[in-house]
């Protein structure tokens, strides 16, 4: 390799057997695929349920599935059937990582425990992403994003003093998927250093509690507590996108310098001398009043006028964008976030690339999401199966 040659993707040569469905696991493994891993998605004969969400061009190829599973290959196996299990075992023998979000009881029934698989494959990373940790009494409860938002404290804080509410995206699935990505890549590094496989568990409930409590635990970080839980800045009813004369802005005035600049900008420099606003500690205790001041002041100018004035004062501000706005945003266009992709059965797609730049370059494009079982014969042939064995599973030989 010369200095001019492109650097291979970080996970090139890593094979991942992906026995996950819905959002959390598939998001983690899609990111691994975008980083260069060969991800083989193992589906039931009916396929991942997400295949059927949204209006696609062909059955089983819904738009959300296309977004969450690009870069992967698919094999459809009935793991309750001996030949299906044998096929999975053959794939595991070629793998670096096994990822699943099946509950512990289901893994026990299938014989897919960490003990069994690490005994058979001592360099394997065995990664589970269950709803609840296997050591606790909730271990076999079902979990989806809404359930975990409720259980983790997120729904309660979203509701403020009123009814609980959900964040209007699958934030638990995606946040825990990101943690799963980090845990799996860290385990791979550990295997490379020691030659010993690892069992990794990333439970949704515990992960989202840790995620949620970062700032919300507050005074109860100390024992005995120095104050209550909660963070007044995020719990203020006046923390919201602020109406301008012709739209809405997200504005954060945070540091001493930024508040001094804002008070000058609105013609209220005397506020900086008031004890309740003089330090970040005092401002945090009185933040609802300050946010109320923002809400009262911003309707006096247009969005563009405020963007110019706040930008000149070094105060972060951005207009509120919709999902449709993002697809036409000039900055995202300039950095090339959205990549066109020609899918062999679904036609032209537009998907975000992996938003990570390494040595000045982004990761190369990957294949589109697979049709159900599309690569079954291919991956089993790679695992050493002959045409007759492949045909026994009802798969067309290569």
Last residue of a domain, one of 264, 294, 319: 319
Q: Which domain holds residue 134?
A: 15-211+336-392
The answer to whether residue 388 scores a pLDDT higher than 70 is: yes
Copy the structure tokens of residue 180: 């799963």
Which of the residues 145, 173, 325, 329 is marked catalytic? 173
Asked if residue 225 is part of any domain, the answer here is no
User: Which residue, among 37, 69, 359, 352, has the nearest Cα to 184 in the 3D structure?
Assistant: 37
Tell me what pLDDT residue 359 has: 87
State whether 347 and 311 are in the same domain.
Answer: no
Asked if residue 374 is part of any domain, the answer here is yes
State whether 24 and 99 are in the same domain.
Answer: yes
User: Which residue, among 50, 329, 27, 321, has the nearest Cα to 171 in the 3D structure?
Assistant: 27
Asked if residue 63 is part of any domain, the answer here is yes
Q: Which CATH number belongs to the domain containing residue 269 in this structure?
A: 3.30.1540.10
Domain count, the chain: 2
Q: Is 173 known to be catalytic?
A: yes
Tell me what pLDDT residue 112 has: 96
Average pLDDT over residues 197-216: 97
State whether 251 and 282 are in the same domain.
Answer: yes
Asked if residue 272 is part of any domain, the answer here is yes
Asked if residue 176 is part of any domain, the answer here is yes
Q: Which CATH number belongs to the domain containing residue 186 in this structure?
A: 3.40.50.10540
Copy the structure tokens of residue 78: 């009935």
The answer to whether residue 3 scores a pLDDT higher than 60 is: no
Tens digits of per-residue pLDDT, 222-253? 999 999 999 988 989 999 999 999 999 999 99
Tell me what pLDDT residue 394 has: 80
Query: What gap in Å lies between CA 41 and CA 73, rounded to an integer?
Result: 6
Asked if residue 189 is part of any domain, the answer here is yes
Average pLDDT over residues 172-201: 98
State whether 122 and 182 are in the same domain.
Answer: yes
Tens digits of per-residue pLDDT, 302-331? 999 999 999 999 999 999 999 999 999 999
Is the alpha carbon torsion for 255, 259, 260, 262 positive or negative?
positive
Residues 6+ positions from 301 with CB-CB distance below 8 Å: 244, 245, 309
pLDDT band at 1 (very low <50, low <70, confident <90, very high): very low
State whether 303 and 361 are in the same domain.
Answer: no
The answer to whether residue 397 scores a pLDDT higher than 50 is: no
Query: What gap in Å lies between CA 148 and CA 324, rounded to an integer?
Result: 28
The answer to whether residue 37 scores a pLDDT higher than 50 is: yes
């Amino acid at each position: 390799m010369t200095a001019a040659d492109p650097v291979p993707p970080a996970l090139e040569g890593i094979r991942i057997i992906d026995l996950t469905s819905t959002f959390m696991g598939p998001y983690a493994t899609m990111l691994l695929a975008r980083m260069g891993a060969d991800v083989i998605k193992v589906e039931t004969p009916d396929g991942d349920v997400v295949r059927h969400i949204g209006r696609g061009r062909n059955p089983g190829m819904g738009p959300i599935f296309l977004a969450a599973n690009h870069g992967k290959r698919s094999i459809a196996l009935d793991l309750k059937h001996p030949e299906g299990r044998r096929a999975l075992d053959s794939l595991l023998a070629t793998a670096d990582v096994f990822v699943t979000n099946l509950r512990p009881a289901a893994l026990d029934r299938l014989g897919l425990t960490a003990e069994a698989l690490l005994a058979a494959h001592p360099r394997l990373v065995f990664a589970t992403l269950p709803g609840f940790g296997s050591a606790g009494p909730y271990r076999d409860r079902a979990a989806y994003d809404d359930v975990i938002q409720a259980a983790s404290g997120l729904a309660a804080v979203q509701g403020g003093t009123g009814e609980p509410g959900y964040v209007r995206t699958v934030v638990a699935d995606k946040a825990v998927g990101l943690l799963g990505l980090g845990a799996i890549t860290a385990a791979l590094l550990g295997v490379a250093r020691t030659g010993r496989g690892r069992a990794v568990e990333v439970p949704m409930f515990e992960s989202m509690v840790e995620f949620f409590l970062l700032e919300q635990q507050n005074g109860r970080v100390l024992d005995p507590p120095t104050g209550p839980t909660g963070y007044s800045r995020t719990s203020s009813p006046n923390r919201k996108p602020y109406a301008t004369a012709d739209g809405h802005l997200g504005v954060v005035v945070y540091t001493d310098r930024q508040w001094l600049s804002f008070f000058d900008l609105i013609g209220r420099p005397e506020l900086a001398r008031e004890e309740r606003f003089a330090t970040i500690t005092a401002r945090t205790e009185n933040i609802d009043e300050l946010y109320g001041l923002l809400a009262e002041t911003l309707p006096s100018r247009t969005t563009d006028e405020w963007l110019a004035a706040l930008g000149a004062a070094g105060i972060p501000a951005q207009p509120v964008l919709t999902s449709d706005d993002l697809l036409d945003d000039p900055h995202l266009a300039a950095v090339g976030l959205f990549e066109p992709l020609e899918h062999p059965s679904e036609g032209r797609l537009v998907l975000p690339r992996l938003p990570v730049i390494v040595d000045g370059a982004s990761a190369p494009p990957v294949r589109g999401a697979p049709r159900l079982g599309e690569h079954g014969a291919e991956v089993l042939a790679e695992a050493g199966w002959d045409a007759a064995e492949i045909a026994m599973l009802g798969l067309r030989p290569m």
